[in-house]
Structure 1
Amino acid sequence: MRLLAKKELLFAMVGVLTLGSCKKIFDLPTEKDYLSNNVNYTNKIFEPIIGRNNVMGQFNADNSTSPMSFEITNARFGDGRPVTDIFKKVPTYVWIAPYTGLETSLAEIEAKRKLEEHALFEVRSSGQFILWASSTNELITPRPTDSTNFSQDTRYFDMKIKNTGGERLIKDLQIRPWRERPYEPSNDMNLYTGLPAPDPKFPFDKTLRDYIRPYLSNVVGVNTNVNLVSNDDKKDVVVYIRPFTGGNGHSLRIVALDKDSKPINPALFNETRWEKMIHGFNVQKTATYVQYDVAYPIPLVEIPTSYATGGSRAKAELSYSRLGFGGIRVTAYAGIDFAIYKTGDWEIVFHFRNDNPKFINE
């Protein structure tokens, strides 16, 4: 058996030497990577929202050999003008350590990210594209406000894909950016103009508008003594997400207004978990609002945390309890799942438009 094993090893070594000799004698080419003729993208039209990190593009390698290189070429408008705006390089936040939602200060969060120079629109090593959150309406012209989609307003580009096996060119990809929507939900905003959106029930009545509508549970009106609602037909409670003045540049404020647009003392929402609700710091509680120091965007990263259970949205929820009929304690809620993408001083306002919430016991 030992002699047989030695013979097999000898034959294997001879085979390797013979193969190497044949390559030298016959000048056989070195082995190359495979690059399929069918490499492509599942979708060739990309519609990112300016002002957010948008990762786009499902690349189909069709079993081609990695690594591959990707290069954006021949970027032009439909009328032949060169496209340059989306390739401007600006300071852009990138993460250098994982965000977990367990950070205990703004300084700890900021230590996990840094500013780097990046083109506003780039292709990644995976073949996916990214439009960075550093983009703005001023840096990149969004699609026309009249909702037209003419070729001269559309940005086209080609993708050059290479490995040692060759080169392929995918032509006529398109990017059609939407204007900035600094927050979500954004149904109160016209997607083309950025102006207030019309009422969905009466779209041609310019005196009416749409609103962000919160979810409600057991919120009873003082005067009507019935549950308040917020839908297309009746908007007892609406929400505004808007900038405010007088903050420190990275503030988030939670406000409730009554039917006369006067502040409701946040202390009346006695079941609200203020410290656990927002990943913010230096919480200030006053008779008119609760305010946090925060890092933007909110959520910072689209991963599940105790502050963003679904990953892509945070939660602002006012809650309170009172004794109802029969001495049964009832807990009421009014809230929204939200995101804010633009750094600044923002407030989330719950406006009880038609009746005030009933806080007293029955």
Structure 2
Amino acid sequence: MKSIAKKDLLFMVLAFVAFSGCKKLYDLPDEKDYLSNNVNFSNKVLEPIIGRNNLIGGFNSDNSTAPLTFEIVNPRWGDGRPLTDIFQKVPTYVWTAPYTGLETSLAEIEAKRKIEEHQLFEMRSSGEFILWASATNQLISPRPADSTNFAQDTRFFDVKVKNTGGERLIKDFQIRPFRERPYEPSNDMNLYTGRPAPDPKFPLDPKLRDYIRPGLSNVIGVTSNQALVSNNDKKDVVAYIRPFTGGNGHSLRIKVLNKDSVEINPAFFNETVWDKMIHGFNIQKTDKYVQYDVAYPIPLVETPTSYAPGGSRARVLLNYSRGAFGGGRTVAAISLEFAIYKAGDWEIVFHFKNDNPKFASE
């Protein structure tokens, strides 16, 4: 048995040497990778939102041999003009270490990312496109405010896919970026103009507008003694996400206004866990608001953490309890899942429009 195994091994070595010699003798070509004729993308119309990181996938290799390389070629406007604005190089935040949500200071967060020069729009080795958050309405003109899609206003490009087996040209991608929406939910903002959005029930009435609607649970009105609601039909409570002045450039403030637009003391929200709600530091509690030092965007990455369990949204949750009939307690809540993409000083405001919340016990 051992001699047979040795003979087999000797035969394999001789065969390999012979094949290698034949390859040199007859100059046989190196084996090439496979590149399918059917490589493609599931979506060739890209509609990113300016001002936030947009990672757009959809490449189908059809079992082509990896690695593949990708190149954006022939960028142009629909009327043939050269397209250059999306390829500007600007300072861009990139992560150098994973963000976990366990960081204990702004300095620890900032140590995990750095600024690099990147084109505003790039293609990754995975076949994914990215429009970086460093893009602005000033650097890249958004789609027209009247929502038209004329060819002369549309950016086109082709993509060259290559490996050692050859190359394929996939033509006529379009990129139609929406203007910046610095926060979500953004239903209070017209996607095309950036101005206030119309009321969904009365879209032709210029005096009415749409609002961000918070979640409400067991919030009772003082005057009505009824549960307050916030929907298309009735907006007892609305929310604003807006800049404020007087911060330090990286602040997030949370406050509640009564129906006379006067601040309600945050102490009334006696069940709120302020220090576990926002990944922020140096919490300031006053009789008008609660404020944090934060790193932007919020959430910092679209990865689930204790501050953003779903990954893409953080959450404000204001809880309070009051005595109920029979000696128990009723717990009420006001909530909003949100994201803020632009650094600065921002406040989230809950505004009671028709009736004030009832904090007194029954």
- TM-score computed with the length of structure 1 as normaliser: 0.99
After superposition, what is the alpha-carbon deviation per residue over 1:45-68, rounded to whole angstroms, capped at 9, x for unaligned? 000000000001311111111111
Counterpart of 2:342 in structure 1 is: 342
Counterparts of 1:304-319 in structure 2, within 5 Å, are 304-319=304-319
Counterparts of 1:182-197 in structure 2, within 5 Å, are 182-197=182-197
Counterpart of 2:323 in structure 1 is: 323
Question: Is 2:99 the counterpart of 1:99?
Answer: yes
> How far did 1:18 drift?
1.5
Counterpart of 2:205 in structure 1 is: 205
Counterpart of 2:124 in structure 1 is: 124
Instruction: Confirm or deny: 8 A CA contact 1:189 1:195 kept in the other structure.
Output: yes
Q: Distance in 2 between matches of 1:13 and 1:94?
A: 51
Aligned-residue RMSD, C-alpha: 0.7
Please say which of residues 21-30 and 221-230 is displaced more in the overlay.
21-30
Counterpart of 1:177 in structure 2 is: 177
After superposition, what is the alpha-carbon deviation per residue over 1:173-217, rounded to whole angstroms, capped at 9, x for unaligned? 010000000000000000000000000000000000000000100
Counterpart of 2:249 in structure 1 is: 249
> How far did 1:319 drift?
1.0
Counterpart of 2:214 in structure 1 is: 214
Q: Distance in 1 between matches of 2:94 and 2:113?
A: 6
* Number of aligned positions between the proteins: 362
Q: Distance in 1 between matches of 2:33 and 2:211?
A: 56
> How far did 1:218 drift?
0.3
Instruction: Confirm or deny: 8 A CA contact 1:266 1:289 kept in the other structure.
Output: yes
After superposition, what is the alpha-carbon deviation per residue over 1:263-297, rounded to whole angstroms, capped at 9, x for unaligned? 00000000111000000000000010000000000
> How far did 1:92 drift?
0.3
Amino acid at match of 2:321: S
Counterpart of 2:40 in structure 1 is: 40
Instruction: Confirm or deny: 8 A CA contact 1:46 1:57 kept in the other structure.
Output: no
Counterparts of 1:265-276 in structure 2, within 5 Å, are 265-276=265-276
Q: Distance in 2 between matches of 1:182 and 1:10?
A: 70
Q: Distance in 2 between matches of 1:327 and 1:229?
A: 26
Instruction: Confirm or deny: 8 A CA contact 1:219 1:332 kept in the other structure.
Output: yes
Counterparts of 1:41-190 in structure 2, within 5 Å, are 41-190=41-190
Amino acid at match of 1:266: P
Counterpart of 2:3 in structure 1 is: 3
> How far did 1:143 drift?
0.2
The list of structure 1 runs, each at least 4 consecutive aligned residues, that deviate by more than 4 angstroms after superposition, is none
Please say which of residues 24-33 and 113-122 is displaced more in the overlay.
24-33
Q: Distance in 1 between matches of 2:57 and 2:72?
A: 13
Q: Secondary structure at the match of 1:288?
A: coil
After superposition, what is the alpha-carbon deviation per residue over 1:59-106, rounded to whole angstroms, capped at 9, x for unaligned? 111111111111111100100011111000000000000000000000
After superposition, what is the alpha-carbon deviation per residue over 1:239-267, rounded to whole angstroms, capped at 9, x for unaligned? 00000000000000001000000000000
Q: Distance in 2 between matches of 1:278 and 1:16?
A: 65
Q: Distance in 2 between matches of 1:209 and 1:327?
A: 42
Amino acid at match of 2:215: Y
Q: Secondary structure at the match of 1:332?
A: strand
Counterpart of 1:17 in structure 2 is: 17
> How far did 1:9 drift?
1.1
Q: Distance in 2 between matches of 1:9 and 1:99?
A: 53
Q: Distance in 1 between matches of 2:30 and 2:202?
A: 70
> How far did 1:10 drift?
1.3
Q: Secondary structure at the match of 1:12?
A: helix
Amino acid at match of 2:198: P
Q: Secondary structure at the match of 1:107?
A: helix
Amino acid at match of 2:127: G
Q: Distance in 2 between matches of 1:117 and 1:297?
A: 19
Instruction: Confirm or deny: 8 A CA contact 1:256 1:350 kept in the other structure.
Output: yes
Please say which of residues 319-328 and 341-350 is displaced more in the overlay.
319-328
Q: Secondary structure at the match of 2:74?
A: strand
Residue identity (%): 75
Q: Distance in 2 between matches of 1:359 and 1:94?
A: 45
Counterpart of 1:29 in structure 2 is: 29
Counterpart of 2:225 in structure 1 is: 225
> How far did 1:25 drift?
2.2
- TM-score computed with the length of structure 2 as normaliser: 0.99
> How far did 1:229 drift?
0.4
Q: Distance in 2 between matches of 1:229 and 1:69?
A: 53
